[in-house]
Amino acid sequence: MTSSRFDRLYTYLNEQQVDAMLITLPKHVYYLTGFLSDPHERFLGLVVPREGEPTLIVPALDREAAEAASSVKQIATHTDTENPYDVLRRTLPAGTKVLGLEKGHLTVNRYEAILESIGADRYVDIDAVLRDMRLLKTPEEVAVIKRAVAIVEDVLRAGLKKVAVGVSEIEIVAELEYQMKKLGAEGPSFSTMVLAGENSALPHGNPGERKIQAGELLLFDLGVYVDGYASDITRTFAVGELSDKQKEIYQAVLDANLKAIERVQPGATLASLDQAAREHITAKGYGEYFMHRLGHGMGLDVHEYPSVHGQNQETLRAGMVFTIEPGIYLPGVGGVRIEDDVLVTENGVEVLTTFPKELTVIG
Amino acid sequence: MTSSRFDRLYTYLNEQQVDAMLITLPKHVYYLTGFLSDPHERFLGLVVPREGEPTLIVPALDREAAEAASSVKQIATHTDTENPYDVLRRTLPAGTKVLGLEKGHLTVNRYEAILESIGADRYVDIDAVLRDMRLLKTPEEVAVIKRAVAIVEDVLRAGLKKVAVGVSEIEIVAELEYQMKKLGAEGPSFSTMVLAGENSALPHGNPGERKIQAGELLLFDLGVYVDGYASDITRTFAVGELSDKQKEIYQAVLDANLKAIERVQPGATLASLDQAAREHITAKGYGEYFMHRLGHGMGLDVHEYPSVHGQNQETLRAGMVFTIEPGIYLPGVGGVRIEDDVLVTENGVEVLTTFPKELTVIG
């Protein structure tokens, strides 16, 4: 897996006549080497030359951990009293004229240190190279994402057991986040949402002391990181008996979710998925209450490329993973959102989230 | 309060002959204007020219929120289809030759967009200016920090009620984080730590399913953000009866904490505080088991300038706020850390944390 990723980098370096690249985003170092670390203010970098082997540069105190985890076995270190940019200069091929950098991540301070130490003629942005590589998930990556999905679904099941009339949103959040730790997640992949009643009509509301009442919609939006990869799921439940209006918007959102999923196959545009969901919700008379994009890419980041919105004419390719999460938010009444994580396959779609979607009464 | 902060900036701009500065770190925009926002990938910037009024540049959708919160009343906006660097160019004084930027925060992408749009002769780093301003807290800032301390101490008190033999570390963490939300904190200021028994000997351990047992040390390290400011407290408790060894290290750490606090006064060096604590612990025979610095600055970030370590010869000044947190970690036995947040006053010290420090039996 890792070596084919390096092949992509070598192809880029050769085609673009770039002498070497320096990768410093910790998630990208993990993606390429298997070594996951937060170096804080210290310097961590992976040097990939056009010709020859890559070298991982780590703080001296991380040498052992890097040797154990990294598939790149050539490792250089720097102590706190050494200038890491001297180590970088010695690591780069002699006479490097064009150096690739992650310009969307690197700070100006570090850039200036590189300009001073390296003195190449040109520095090119390699963000798109890595973004495009990450876009198509390998089977190994999909397997990790499935574990992240399995854990978050177990978390949701456990959290539902705590739901009762009179329990507050934040009490349920506490239970969910406890279960995340208990079930072995690294942590939430974003701020866990439990929103009851009219709060569920706020697409990015904040859980509070609001107590769950009978006859309400209860919206859960949660995700976890597992081995560096994210999951993200939303389900909305009925606490006791719902009104016809509440049931109607639930059904409209569920059908929109299913219609979008039906369209997923290589060659379809991202826009067409958003449109499929939006047209259905609009036909049901709720178009103005679905005021966000359909979904977002998901992988090493819970929100990553591509964006699933009505203007994105990019086409689906096997290996893409993204969310499909239509919603209807009626002020004062409540909101429904149903979010799945899907994988584009050679033949169509695999829905990674397995939690049932039919309207379920809880509490 | 805010206007005196701008006076400092104007003094800097005049003394250093800098035509204007662009401030983009959201916490710095908050510090200077009172407008706290996470612009995600959108552009947020505060322009302070050497002469004339500052201007806040915000995404168009944030205009209303900015107008309500910001003390800077000159507000420019950009929509998603406008180039924010065009807005920046129109906002900067005509003929800006020297522009100040936060080089430790700004990405190369944004820097290159600025280079292209602005075309100044020189770009200077203003990180130190803002760091030095933040170093000395105003009475208003101290009042906010005290609220963050009061809340985290209430959280700790509530969490202690859940402690019992057989309860796991992560169950206590869940209760603490629930109480943070309930008591009105914005969230934890770092990953909440509850470490029992031999786990408490790991200075940066990770709470897990380890169940609390009688005769153990139980270490709590937690903090919250309130109105953008952090608190941070560590207390260690006895679950039932402790051994003489455990009591001995508790007393050594408590005395080290008190000895360091005694030294806090304007003019003393930061190093002298670390030394006072370390000498005591070393004299008690545990010097090798206190393997981290004494403390860290605290304010808008839970870890900020200055660093309280044995080589820092900077002198204390009234208005500094930092932690004092000596510890002893005996592998296989357990660890004790006692952490206070302190303010340097004109005459000495005010200890902001009020939670009792004498050894207390719980559970």
CB contact under 8 A, A107 and B109: no
> Which residue among A107, A123, A207 sits closest to B103, beta carbon to beta carbon?
A107
Domains of chain B: 3-134 (3.40.350.10), 136-362 (3.90.230.10)
Chain A residue numbers touching B103 (CB-CB < 8 A): 107-109, 112
Chain A residue numbers touching B123 (CB-CB < 8 A): 108
**Does A38 lie at the interface with B, CB-CB under 8 angstroms?**
no
Which chain A residue is nearest to residue B187, measuring alpha carbons?
Answer: A191
For chain B, the average pLDDT equals 96
Q: pLDDT tens digits, residue range A274-332?
A: 999 999 999 999 999 999 999 999 999 999 999 999 999 999 999 999 999 999 999 98
For residue B294, give Cα distances in angstroms to A161, B315, B359.
Answer: 44, 15, 20
Neighbours of B225 (CB within 10 A): 21
For the cut 50, the answer to whether the pLDDT of residue B320 exceeds it is yes
pLDDT of res. A80: 85
Measure B177 CA to nearest chain A CA, in Å: 7
Q: pLDDT tens digits, residue range A131-183?
A: 999 999 999 999 999 999 999 999 999 999 999 999 999 999 999 999 999 99
Confidence grade of residue A2 (pLDDT, cut at 50, 70, 90): low
Mark which residues 152-211 of B lie under 8 Å from A by CB.
170-171, 173-175, 177-178, 181-182, 207-209
pLDDT of res. B1: 47
Measure B179 CA to nearest chain A CA, in Å: 9
Measure A350 CA to nearest chain B CA, in Å: 30
Tokens at residue B228, please? 């953008």
Phi-psi region of B247 (alpha: psi -120 to 50; beta: other; left: phi over 0): alpha
For the cut 90, the answer to whether the pLDDT of residue A112 exceeds it is yes
CB contact under 8 A, B175 and A173: no
**Does A104 lie at the interface with B, CB-CB under 8 angstroms?**
yes
Confidence grade of residue A6 (pLDDT, cut at 50, 70, 90): very high
Tokens at residue B137, please? 């807290």
pLDDT of res. B2: 63
**Which is nearest to B344 in space by CA: B363, B321, B360?**
B321
**Does A105 lie at the interface with B, CB-CB under 8 angstroms?**
yes
Identity of the highest mean pLDDT range in A252-266, B38-52, B201-215: A252-266
Q: What is the DSSP letter of A198?
A: G
Which chain B residue is nearest to residue A210, measuring alpha carbons?
Answer: B182
pLDDT of res. A102: 98
DSSP-derived 3-state class of residue B148: helix
**Burial class, A282, CB count within 10 angstroms (exposed 0-12 / middle 13-18 / buried 19+):** middle
Length of chain B in terms of residues written: 363
Interface test with A, best of B61, B118, B177, B181 (most A CBs within 10 A): B181
Beta strand pairing status for B98-101 and B122-125? parallel
> Which residue among A108, A181, A182 sits closest to B108, beta carbon to beta carbon?
A108
Q: pLDDT tens digits, residue range B20-51?
A: 999 999 999 999 999 999 898 899 999 999 99
Q: What is the DSSP letter of A75?
A: E
For residue B290, give Cα distances in angstroms to A342, B326, B336.
Answer: 49, 7, 10
Quote ipTM for the complex.
0.88
CB contact under 8 A, B182 and A170: yes
